[in-house]
Structure 1
Amino acid sequence: MSQLPEPIERLITQFERLPGIGPKSAQRLAFFVTTMTQEHVQEFAQALLTIHQELMICESCCAISDRSPCNVCGDPLRDQRMICVVQDTRDMIAIERMKSYDGLYHVLGGAISPMDGIGPDQLHFRELLQRIVDEKVEEVILATNSSVEGEATALYIARLANSFGQLKVTRIAHGIPVGGDLEFADEMTLKRAMEYRRPM
């Protein structure tokens, strides 16, 4: 029988549902909530309650946003000729942090994974193909993860996109991170680094 008060047990159970949160982290978070002011707890609860009401999917790129079109799609200064294809909105945000890519994005909503029952019909491929036609896209940059699923998804898109003739299809490079030592790199990372080498 648990020695914890029932309200704390309930809160721990909810925190454990979050990815990357184990029992100890969930308990630490639950006890932290008990130290918060009533005002902060209400703000926290309100943010959780309203998140689904205030967020939507961008009608153009399929990213999670608070408006449609999203800030990127609605920016007339973005290069309309390039679309960077990513698996989810977090990947888009990561690329935006670079502040060096000025094209558009397309969020697939995941990767092809037959083991998980995710096929092309569950992802935003049709919308991507429609954009390529409607927006006169010149380059599609494939920025899916370097996992087996990410690679399979990139190959699937490349096959579809190559049917558009003059469309340029590129894949982001994978390899040794900046500041990384070769001795600590795994075989697949080294293999990719060699495959995607470039002239100096």
Structure 2
Amino acid sequence: MSFSPLLQQLIQALRCLPGVGPKSAQRMALHLLERDRQAALSLAQSLQEACERVGQCQSCRTLSEEPICALCADEQRDHSLLCVLESPVDMLAVEQTGGYQGVYFVLGGHLSPIDGIGPEDLGIRQLLQRLQQGEIRELILATNPTVEGEATAHYILEQIEDPHLKVSRIAHGVPVGGELEFVDGGTLAHALAGRRSLRKEIS
């Protein structure tokens, strides 16, 4: 048995979602059409409105309905502290910690020559232009601790011309509550290399 052309088209469209294979897409499509058509129509309307109205913040490049997102427009934030991230999801994760009061810049991915993603495909040029304005005193490179994320952070560091700009990298180490025997070697090596003193240095 084969599905009708429109149903097959819907199944194929649902496969664009991450982690959704043929069987999952098929179940989703059949559920929406058989059991909840009103939800399907609402989903379609929400998708259309989001695609038409949600763009990028002109300052940090996160997803926003306004030219400048609420975080960038917040005068209570420290606009001299800039955290560079790969995606809006990473930005949300940092913001949920409640411990960061600076502003953000979203690259929109990471360097990946295998996938054909180079510096021109990310927001690196816009980031460098923002740094040239002289408002930023510290740049936090918070790309993911992957090979691609490390390469992206290193590339950005090489492009920075201002020798007085403080550039830092987020620490990678053992998660809170983790046990050393279950931590992979790379994470443990990072934790040892990034160790900090528990006692104040005597001057």
Question: How does the TM-score come out when normalised to structure 2?
Answer: 0.90
Give the Cα separation in 1 of the matches to 2:6 and 2:105: 42
Which residue identity lines up with residue 140 of structure 2 in the other structure? I
**How far is the alpha carbon of 1:136 from its aligned partner?**
1.6
Percent sequence identity over matched residues? 45
Runs of 4+ in 1 over 3 A off after TM superposition: 4-10
Q: Distance in 1 between matches of 2:67 and 2:119?
A: 24
Q: State the secondary structure of the residue aligned to 2:97.
A: coil
SS in 2 for 1:166: coil
Give the gaps of 5 or more residues in structure 1: none
> Alignment partner of 1:80: what SS?
strand
**1:108–1:125 contact (8 Å) kept in structure 2:** yes
Write the letter of the residue equivalent to 1:164. D
Q: How far apart, in 1, do the equivalents of 2:7 and 2:28 lie?
A: 10
Stretches of structure 2 that go unaligned for 5 or more consecutive residues are 199-203
Give 1:7 deviation, angstroms. Answer: 4.7
Measure the CA separation in 2 of the matches of 1:189 and 1:29.
38
- Paired with 1:114 and 1:6, the residues of 2 have a C-alpha distance of 37
Instruction: Report if the CA contact (8 A) 1:85-1:105 is conserved.
Output: yes
**Cα offset, 1:55, TM superposition:** 0.6
Q: What's the counterpart of residue 191 of structure 1?
A: 189
d(CA) in 2 for partners of 1:131, 1:58: 14
Residues 80 and 135 in structure 1, CA contact (< 8 A), matched pair in contact too: no
Q: Answer yes or no: is 1:174 the counterpart of 2:172.
A: yes
Q: In 1, Cα distance between the equivalents of 2:4 and 2:113? A: 43
Give the corresponding residue for 2:88: 89
Residue-pair matches, total: 197
Residues 174 and 192, structure 1, Cα contact 8 Å, conserved in 2:
yes
Q: Deviations over 1:128-177 (max 9, x none)?
A: 1121122521000000011111101101111223x212111000011211
Determine the structure 2 residue equivalent to 1:70.
69
Tell me how far apart the structure 2 counterparts of residues 41 and 114 of structure 1 sit (CA, whole Å): 38
In the alignment, residue 129 of structure 2 is paired with which amino acid? Answer: Q
- Measure, in 2, the Cα distance between the counterparts of 1:172 and 1:118: 23
Counterpart AA for 2:165? L
